[in-house]
Every structure is written in C-alpha cells, then in structure tokens.
C-alpha cells in the first residue's frame, strides 16, 4: 500500500509539473485585453494574481495559486507608463522564481527601450541593461515581436523568439485595401528600405524610397566619436593634427520611385511621434499618390499623434494590438487594429510542448 501511494503521489506530481500557467503582469485593465485574447485561444484561464501600486507608488505582486514545477508565461503589454510596466514584470518574475516555477517565459510583444540599443555620446545602452535585469529577476525565455533592431537578441543570456507581424499586415493589405494591386510600398527612410522591399516582393508590388532633410534618423545622431571639438588647435599634444571632420548636409527631400496615381503604403516597425510620417504623407501627395496608408507593428502613438494623424493627408494607420491604443482610436477613427494574439498563443503552446518554432517563421524574410 505504501508503494502504491508513493507512485500515485509521484504521478500526480509529474502531471502538475507538466502543466503551465499564463499570468498578466499589468495593473491596468486596458493592458490585460491582449492577455485575455491569448488565454481564450489557448483554452486556459488567466492565472490568479494581483498586481497593484501602493499609496507610495511601490509595485506589489501577489500570486494567488501554486506555480511550483510549472512553465509560467507572463504576458506584459507596455502602456504609456513604461517604467511602471517594467517594474511590474520584474517583481512578478522574481515572485514566481521564489515560488519555485520551473521556467518563467516573458511574453513582451513590444520590448521597451528598444530604440536605446546603441551608444549615443556619453549615454548608455539601456536595452542591454533591461535584458540583464530581466535575467536577474528570473526570466528564462522571452517571446517578443518585431524588435527595433534584431541584434538586440544578442543582449540576452537566454533564448529570445522574435516573432513577425508582417503576415498579418500583408493579409490586411490584401483583404482591406481596395485595388491594392495599384499600390506601391514606400520606405520612409533609406534604413527602412530592406523591410519595405520584403513587403513589396511578397505582395508583387513596386518599391519607393524617401530620402532627404525632412527626416532625422538615429544614424545621423552623434554617437560619441564626434564629441571632441572640430578644431585643429590642440593642447598638450603639439604636432598632433587630426583631419577636420566635415559636417553632414542632407539633400532636399526626394522620392526614388514613381508614386503618381498610386496608393502609397509606408511600412515601419513602430509609429510613435508621427511628425515624420505626416511630412512623408504630404510629400507623397505632392508627388501624385492619391491614398496614403501607414502600416506598423507597434502603435505607440504618443503625445498628439491622434490629432496630427486626423488632420494630415494620411488616410489610414494600421497597427497591431501589441500596445494598447483604444484611447487613441477613440480620438482618431483613421487608426485600425490587427489582432496578433493568434501567433502569440501558438508560440506559447509550442514552447510549452517543446515543438519547433520554425512553422511560425515560414515565408518570413530575414529583413522583416
């Protein structure tokens, strides 16, 4: 009898260990919408936990069920209060780690601070710092979508699955844009040309690239190498004369490619401050494009973005639900949403079951 009871206990323990739970680390209701969609597709309930801010703005997390020996997936969508969301994720990950979770996988559709992935003057690579903090808190894996730079994956000491939203956005173009065969894919900057080319090739459409003074790209910012004064006079090193570095001067804005009489579709990984997009739309209208669409994975839409879009020549802005933007949609009916909960749910299922992720990247170009 003792042996039978022991085996029965072991069997129940193995069943428990093979399970998984999905938690949301957000304290705001709007940010839990994506987590609810994902759990509905998986056919599981959202894990019982309480995430809240105390009166002194400290983050507190209470996990209300056992997670011992299980795979835990933490879904964290990033609202406008980025730093609070990061702290919520870190505290919850550490709480699950100390509760003896087997694996802790962060599902972070939009990875914050991804723009700060390069050294700028005497600044810091904040994205690398965040990666180290997540590892220290206990995360063992991350699922994200369309990182600002793919090289960010190298900052982590554990696996990162960088999913793509392009299949969903391409499907939207094919199904929701009338006469899309008369469209042309536009890269707002030369650095976005590879992404735009990938879209153009899969849609069998033409490609146009914008270049000129209306854009102030990251690559044009000083990275510290130009920080000394541009002067030939030196102190302490007589006889040392470095070549004078010439300042950059952008040419007038130009559009390489014919957009006349076409539908212009600008593609990018995120849309935050929209001034550059509005300026690009005006130029494309001047060049003869009769409709302007913006397609982006992450719709941050900060500050006065909804008002600027509504007043601009842009006809429609299409983003995914990696970032909550319901308030912005109420302010601007031009903003449309594509649901990507399907691919996130499938990624969770495959990781838990130990299945290959290759199916989720089929027909995905390297430059997406």
Chain segment 62-90, per-residue pLDDT in tens: 999 999 999 999 999 998 899 999 999 99
Q: Give 217's pLDDT tier (boundaries 50, 70, 90).
A: very low
Whether 237 and 265 have beta carbons less than 8 Å apart is answered as no
**Planar angle of CA 186, 343, 66, nearest 5 degrees:** 140
Mean pLDDT over 161-167 rounds to 96
| 167-213+252-338 and 20-163 share a CATH fold | yes
Query: Mind listing the pLDDT tens digit for each residue in 26-68?
Result: 888 878 999 999 999 999 999 999 999 999 999 999 999 999 9
For domain 167-213+252-338, give the fold.
Rossmann fold (3.40.50)
179 pLDDT higher than 90: yes
- Give residue limits of the domains in the chain: 20-163, 167-213+252-338
Work out the mean pLDDT of the chain and round it to a whole number: 88
175 pLDDT higher than 90: yes
DSSP per-residue string spanning 132-149: HHHHHHT--EEEEES-SS
**What distances in angstroms separate CA 149 from CA 121, 146, 263, 279, 367, one per listed residue?**
19, 8, 28, 24, 10
Q: Give 253's pLDDT tier (boundaries 50, 70, 90).
A: confident
What is the percent of the chain with per-residue pLDDT over 90, rounded to a whole number? 75
Determine the Cα–Cα distance for residues 101 and 88; give it in Å rounded to an integer.
Answer: 17
Determine the Cα–Cα distance for residues 256 and 196; give it in Å rounded to an integer.
Answer: 13
Determine the Cα–Cα distance for residues 306 and 129; give it in Å rounded to an integer.
Answer: 32
Write down the pTM of the prediction. Answer: 0.86
Determine the Cα–Cα distance for residues 220 and 217; give it in Å rounded to an integer.
Answer: 6
pLDDT for 134? 97
153 pLDDT higher than 60: yes
248 pLDDT higher than 50: yes
Please give the CATH number for the structural domain made up of 20-163.
Answer: 3.40.50.2020
DSSP per-residue string spanning 5-42: HHHHHHHHHHHHHT-EEEEE--SSGGGGHHHHHHHHHH
């Amino acid at each position: 009898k003792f042996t039978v009871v022991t085996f029965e206990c072991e069997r129940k323990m193995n069943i428990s260990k093979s399970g998984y739970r999905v938690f949301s680390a957000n304290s705001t209701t709007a940010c839990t919408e994506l987590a609810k969609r994902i759990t509905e597709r998986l056919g599981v309930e959202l894990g019982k936990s309480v995430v809240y801010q105390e009166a002194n703005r400290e983050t507190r997390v209470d996990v209300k069920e056992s997670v011992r020996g299980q795979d835990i997936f933490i879904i964290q969508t990033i609202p406008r209060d980025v730093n609070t969301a990061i702290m919520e994720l870190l505290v919850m990950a550490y709480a699950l780690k100390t509760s003896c979770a087997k694996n802790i996988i962060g599902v972070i559709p939009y990875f914050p601070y991804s723009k700060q992935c390069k050294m700028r003057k005497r600044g810091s690579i904040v994205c690398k710092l965040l990666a180290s903090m997540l590892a220290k808190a206990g995360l063992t894996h991350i699922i994200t979508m369309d990182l600002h730079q793919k090289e960010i994956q190298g900052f982590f000491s554990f696996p990162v699955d960088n999913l793509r939203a392009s299949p969903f956005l391409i499907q939207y173009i094919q199904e929701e844009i009338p006469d899309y065969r008369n469209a042309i894919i536009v890269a707002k900057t030369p650095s976005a040309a590879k992404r735009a080319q990938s879209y153009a090739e899969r849609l069998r459409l033409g490609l146009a690239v914008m270049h000129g003074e209306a854009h102030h790209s990251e690559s044009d910012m000083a990275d510290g190498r130009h920080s000394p004064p541009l002067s030939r006079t030196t102190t302490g090193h007589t006889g040392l004369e470095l070549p004078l570095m010439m300042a950059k001067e952008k040419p007038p804005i130009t559009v390489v490619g014919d957009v006349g009489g076409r539908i212009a579709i600008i593609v990018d990984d995120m849309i935050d401050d929209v001034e550059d997009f509005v300026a690009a739309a005006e130029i494309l209208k001047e060049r003869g494009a009769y409709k302007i669409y913006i397609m982006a994975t992450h719709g941050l839409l900060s500050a006065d973005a909804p008002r600027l879009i509504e007043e601009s020549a842009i006809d429609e802005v299409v983003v995914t639900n990696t970032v909550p933007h319901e308030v912005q949609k109420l302010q601007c009916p031009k903003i449309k949403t594509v649901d990507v909960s399907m691919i996130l749910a499938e990624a969770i299922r495959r990781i838990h079951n130990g299945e290959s992720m290759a199916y989720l990247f089929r027909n995905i170009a390297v430059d997406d």
